[in-house]
Structure 1
């Protein structure tokens, strides 16, 4: 029997991880039937990003479930905004990370569920039902991956230490260009062994699994990052913004196996 949790950090309830995984199952039951559906309705938000009825329906269901089971907790979702709770706990939700993929029939999309306590994400669940995969972690309990109904396996980042052996996922060229980091990206890609843009949640999960060594992206928000950070950290990795600050609200994130973190960060910011 795989041990799913080891310790319960301060502020976490013993059943928070179980509850978060139940939320992921609820999200999957709403989003997956709508995936590739010919009747799916979609539009553009004010910022030009795509939103579908699946995004909204999923978030509304998760928000209702959280408000019913954890009425004292705060909530922050990409589609419905923020509700302030009575304490220091806040659930952060991205109902469908990778909405454009979802709309186009690319299976790299999923729901991100995080619990933040005192401003720090301490629990994360990432569910990608079209891939049949789910990942989760809570502080002190390790990071885990489950494929379908198989037994969960514990995750560990890679042991790569040299830039010429690094496999890097850089997400979107456009965001690097808009933030003035395109030259740094091109120089970095020339140094590493392999560069790809796997995109969205999957890049971070591949990092936690040890298949990638570094991921960096710009123009991101707390709901894009809060769930993936505990998983990467509990797998032994490091997450900061490009200035080295531990944050899920700086608008960018550098996540690595830890061994090459400062080497890559220094090249992005020089």
Structure 2
């Protein structure tokens, strides 16, 4: 394959089943489009079913919709149960959905919205579906992180839900750091099975509606700096697509734009922050996540 990897390098996905969270718009939609265009059966796992149906109609391929609200563990369990009934297997689970910089809110289960949706919802969803991936050789769990895992980010075990004080930027950083640590620890647990790989990816700074809750100064500057530091949603989806489909991709890797700062560029294997590789914190986060979600993984 060419070093400048693009969607044209995606091999045939005929016979493969891909479940993508948050796929009715933005990066998730662009990921779904490429996979569907290459022959995959794609399930758009989305909170808004009507918007999901509109997205599926635009894709015009073997695409269906599954209701999934990652901010509700009841919804996560119901969605996983329905997918067990609907699908014979899963080849690709792409944990793409997320919220960024909202005012402090909580999920239906009382978790801070960013940590609860971006990390705990995906943790539970993956754990409940993993038995559908484990028998499938070459299956992958791709979790979408962010360069924000480096920005004022730490796992605040003393206040995971930001009840003492709330900083939306730091809370997003924590959630995205948790995404990475989850992916790395999941790969450690999957390694002995030899069938399923856990891989992380990030889009750089992609022009999507996720920026809508950014601080006012960031929104004001965005049109000025966009040409220098951002890339299209379609290009932002390429690291996820490469992690999901490149035959050479390995469990435990992290894909992102190769340009300066990781803002944009061709999708390559990149390094995450030093703290993201802390095994002790990864394992502690895993244990806490199991306790909070009451989901136990079939690997361990």
Which bracket does the TM-score occupy, shorter chain normalised?
A: 0.3 to 0.5
Q: Normalised by the size of structure 2, how large is the TM-score? A: 0.31
Larger helix share, 1 or 2: 2
Give the TM-score of the pair, scaled to structure 1. 0.33
